[in-house]
Structure 1
Amino acid sequence: MTTVTSDLLDRYQNYRVRRWLIQEQRLSGLLPGWRTRRRRRALAVTVVLAIAVMLLAGLLCALDLRMAALAILPATLIFIPAWGMLRVVSQVQDSAPAVTLDELEIAQRNSARSAGLTVTQILTLLPVFYLIFVSVLAPEISAFQSAYAGGVMVLATLLAGGCTPGLILAWNRPDPEPES
């Protein structure tokens, strides 16, 4: 006998598979020249550098360098299209439903997701501790130095962890087979 919960989960999973297959078909012809390993790696490095600039901007804001806040805008303007392109050319494998992948792809995806969770947990602890300690040890500092700087650092670390699975899979994926 099926329960309401399992029925709901099954329907959602079926919907998710249908939606992913439609998206895969729609994106399959986009950016064919960017699907090589070399280009995917260039996009991955661009994404990592953009996130690093965001993190550095947060650190500099914590030191009350107000002009550092301006670095977030170009970093974001570089990150968004680079990450979008990387997801397209790596076929969004990091968020694919399990039924659309073979056993090797599932193992790779799960391993990359595990690494992403670890990166998220480790990196996000640093700005969280900064926010906790700065509020206790230096309550007189400005909101810019505490809340804004900490928020930017948390954002950068969450992006780093969230992007890690896609970055790993895009970096390690072999070149696509040439079409005949």
Structure 2
Amino acid sequence: MSTASLIDRYEDYRTRRFLTHEATFAKWLPAWRTRHRRRILAGVVVALIAAMFPIAVATYFFPVIAVVWLPVALVFLPTWTCLQIVSGRQSDAPRHALDEREIAERNSARSIGLSVAQSLLLIPIFALMWSPPFDFIDHKALCYSAGGFALAAILFSGCLPAVLLAWTRPDDDPEDQL
């Protein structure tokens, strides 16, 4: 069994599974499939993740603020799920399920997400690397705060491709829905 055939079989399985899920969710939330409403969902997702950054920083000074993370996460999860449903999960679709234009858009959005991840993750990394010589820093609190910041950065950069695609994708052609 060659490695290429194993990868090809996995890609075929992933494509079949994606198309099955796409058919299942194609009729869900039809009123939210317009560009305007996708942009509302994308904005809410970005706002919720943006709220996670100051919460993470504030936990260094006031550890009890970490409790605020829970309601933000509880609102984020269904909002993110709705955004994925109405945008057709184009950001994580297998290549065999997309046409050439969609693949190029997806890859561009993923590239932006990776660049954002690399940039944002440098902040907690440098904070953790450069803090040990300073005794006045609460290192436990810094680790917790930096972990929250890193989690928010990973969430933001992971969601960013879907947000960008949902924001820029035009409305579906009404004739396609008949």
**TM class by shorter-chain length?**
over 0.9
Partner SS state of residue 170, structure 1: helix
Number of residue pairs aligned between Structure 1 and Structure 2 = 176
1:110 aligns with 2:110: no
Alignment equivalent of 2:153, drawn from 148, 154, 157 = 157
- Indicate how the Cα distance of structure 1 residues 80 and 135 shifts in structure 2: closer, same or farther if over 3 A, else same: farther
Decide whether the 8 Å contact of 1:53 with 1:71 is kept in 2.
Answer: no
- State the TM-score, normalizing by the size of structure 2: 0.93
Q: Determine the C-alpha separation between the residues in 2 that align with 1:173 and 1:163.
A: 16
1:77 aligns with 2:74: yes
- Residue 139 (structure 1) shift: 7.4
1:130 aligns with 2:116: no
RMSD: 1.5
Decide whether the 8 Å contact of 1:135 with 1:146 is kept in 2.
Answer: no
Unaligned runs of 5+ in 1: none
Overall identity of the aligned pairs, in %: 43
Partner SS state of residue 174, structure 1: coil
- Indicate how the Cα distance of structure 1 residues 14 and 139 shifts in structure 2: closer, same or farther if over 3 A, else same: farther
Q: Determine the C-alpha separation between the residues in 1 that align with 2:40 and 2:18.
A: 26
Unaligned runs of 5+ in 2: none
Runs of 4 or more consecutive aligned structure 1 residues displaced over 3 Å after TM superposition = none
Residue-by-residue CA offset, 1:23-56 (whole Å, 9 max, x unaligned): 1011101111111111111111111111111111
Decide whether the 8 Å contact of 1:47 with 1:82 is kept in 2.
Answer: yes
Q: Determine the C-alpha separation between the residues in 2 that align with 1:29 and 1:102.
A: 21
